[in-house]
Amino acid sequence: MSDDPDLEELKNKTTKGKRTDAAADEQQGALSEDIMDRLAAIEDGERKTLAIRDESLSALFGALEDRPDDMDAVLDDLADAAGKDVSNATKSDLTRLAARVGLQTAAPEVWEELLEAKRQRAVEQA
């Protein structure tokens, strides 16, 4: 501890390695705007598919595809976690729901940015 009370106050107000709340809010707003731009581009015909390359997931998803009962069970679990309904059991549904649940769980603030962008886009189109 320092004998200088002003220095101590400054240290207490500053956290090393973290953004200020204002900077974080600004960055999140920018993400939402970028997502809105991408949504508009997709609506205008830009590709809306997403591909991943992962040997382990490819093996797992392929095995699940060969085992419809297991695929249905996993899809039901993911759909419940994502708050979605699944009409058919495909690898695409499995990938989509796994990504949604992962983002909702691990990065909820990013997921909220997506939801906000979709809300704003709907308002703009109304």
Q: pLDDT (tens digit, 0 to 9) for every residue of the chain, 126 residues total?
A: 556 666 555 555 544 444 445 555 556 568 999 999 999 999 999 999 999 999 999 999 999 999 999 999 999 999 999 999 888 878 999 999 999 999 999 999 999 999 999 999 999 988
Q: Are 51 and 57 in contact (CB under 8 A)?
A: no
Backbone angles phi, psi at 67, to 5 degrees: -125, 80
Q: Which pLDDT score, from 0 to 100, does residue 89 have? A: 79
| pLDDT of the residue at 20 | 45
Question: Residue ranges per domain, the chain?
Answer: 14-125
- Can you give the pLDDT at residue 73? 95
Rounded Cα–Cα distance for residues 3 and 103 (Å): 46
pTM: 0.72
17 phi and psi, to 5 degrees? 80, 5
